[in-house]
Amino acid sequence: MDIGTIQSVAKAIPKTGITEKSNGNQFENIFKGIVDSAISAQSESKALTNQFIKGGNVELHEVMIAGEKAKTSMQLLMEIRNKSIDMYKELTQIQI
């Protein structure tokens, strides 16, 4: 996998500092950025696959790289979702 693709996924996560007064939308903005990145990677993979199938000017390795990039961004999204759910469950147990 190309290092540039990993860096592009990492750039979707904005770097924010933790402050005492946060507006609560930081997590929403970060999560929305990751979701948008995953959707665009899926769309790019689908478009390249369709071009390759139709005999377009696309090499097989480009299709495979786009597919792996889409897969990796989806795995990142699922891990963040799972960790967020775990965090929520733990917070609700603490408040009892």
pLDDT per residue as tens digits for the range 55-72: 999 999 999 999 999 999
Residue 54 lies in a domain: yes
Distance CA(87)–CA(80), nearest Å, equals: 10
In a domain, 52, yes or no: yes
Is residue 46 situated within a structural domain?
yes
Assess if residue 19 is contained within a domain: no
Confirm whether 65 is domain-assigned.
yes
Quick check: is 89 in a domain?
A: yes
Whether residue 44 is contained in a domain is answered as: yes
Tokens of 24: 């609560």
Q: Is the pTM of this model over 0.75?
A: no
* Confidence grade of residue 24 (pLDDT, cut at 50, 70, 90): low
Domain count within the chain: 1
* Any domain includes 37: yes
Residue-number span of the structural domain to which 43 is assigned: 3-10+24-94
